[in-house]
A and B are shown apart, each in its own frame.
Chain A
Amino acid sequence: MGLGLLPLGLALGVLITHAGLPWWCASLSTAVIYAGSFEFILVGLVLAAVPLATIALTAFLVNVRHVFYALSFPLDKVSGRPARAYSTFALNDESYALATGPQARSWSGARLLWLQVLMQAYWVGGATAGALLGSVVPDTVTGLDFALTALFTVLALDAVRERRGDLPTPLLALLSALIARLIVPGQLMLGAFALFTGALLVRHFVTRSRSSHA
């Protein structure tokens, strides 16, 4: 599963070299930031030489969704301060999906942690290789960034299949995303997460009051 990060890392590395940035930017960014989609966006930002405050704000807006992950990520399984620190540092979309997925229920904290380490190794390795090979790949080769879309598609299919019989959840999410796309196109991700969380809360309280009146 974490192997999906390898082609994605390669894509990021090639993108970084094609943008004219030094290859070590790929290794550094993937090792220190480790936030897939944001790193793709960051390439554009540094090329435009935007102020650091703009970078901080964009990082906040693109990654603020991680706030929600603390609600269900099984950090309590991981023991020891350094291990927990790394586990939160490496809490990206993919490791969240993996750790909250059906297969992860029986996993120990150590297994969870090593998977996170392995996933980041694929990411750093892929990006570094991509950046080094980037000069060999001609500029006409485009579309590698689809790896990110494919990754989320696969994760969504698995997560939805795991909740068979709960069709309203993915439908509410889809609706939230489409509404956010219409009313706050610049802040799709934040808008969609807020709408989706709100919709789930409403649904929870409606179901609860219905069952208590029954």
Chain B
Amino acid sequence: MPDTRYLLLAVAVSAAVTWALRALPFTVLAPLRASAVVRYLGARMPAGVMVILCVYCLRDLPLSRPEAVAPLAALAVTVGLHLWRRNALLSILGGTMVNVVLASTVFGH
């Protein structure tokens, strides 16, 4: 197991890089916020960013193997629940439960 000093340093390094990436652009990009191009991007980016993050999460899906069934079924349940009830927590819990149950039993090991 990694020693404590290494673990603490790993967390510190990660935190510094992450915060810098989140905070510094506000100073650098501040003058750009009034521009028409930035406002155009700002209105459209949220929807696109979330779509990209979804694809990122599913990037390693083994489509040709039976193990893909669990996450695909869970994804269908998440989307279905959300279109039906529009309750974020319900959709997330429902989808995750389907995945855990399928991945741990039928398609597990």
Contact = CB atoms under 8 A, between A and B. Distances in A.
Interface of A: 1, 3-4, 7-8, 11, 20-22, 25, 28-29, 32-35, 37-38, 42, 45-47, 49, 52, 55-56, 59-60, 63-72, 75, 85, 88-89, 91, 93, 96-97, 100-101, 140-144, 146-160, 162-163, 166, 169-170, 172-174, 176-178, 181, 185, 188-189, 192-193, 196-197, 200-201, 204
Contacts of B103: 142-143, 146
A100 B59 CA distance: 26
Contacts of A22: 4, 7
A197 to B, nearest CB: 7
B25 A149 contact: no
B9 interface: yes
Most chain A CB within 10 A, of B70, B89, B96, B102, is at B96
B17 interface: yes
Given A101-B46, A150-B95, A163-B47, A32 B74 contact: no
Contacts of B66: none
Nearest to B38: A71
Interface string B34-70: 0001101111111111111111111100000000001
Nearest to B28: A70
Contacts of A197: 41, 45
10 contacts: A56-B14, A63-B21, A72-B42, A143-B99, A147-B92, A151-B92, A152-B53, A156-B51, A166-B47, A181-B59
A13 to B, nearest CB: 14
B1 A174 contact: no
Task: Determine the interface band of chain B, counting residues with CB < 8 A from chain A.
Answer: 35 or more
B12 A32 contact: yes
Given A42-B10, A201-B37, A170 B47 contact: yes
Most chain A CB within 10 A, of B21, B95, B99, is at B21
A141 B104 contact: yes
A1 B90 CA distance: 10
Among all A-B residue pairs, the 8 with the closest Cβ atoms: A72-B42, A173-B48, A143-B103, A70-B25, A177-B55, A156-B50, A146-B99, A159-B47
A47 B2 contact: yes
B52 A143 contact: no
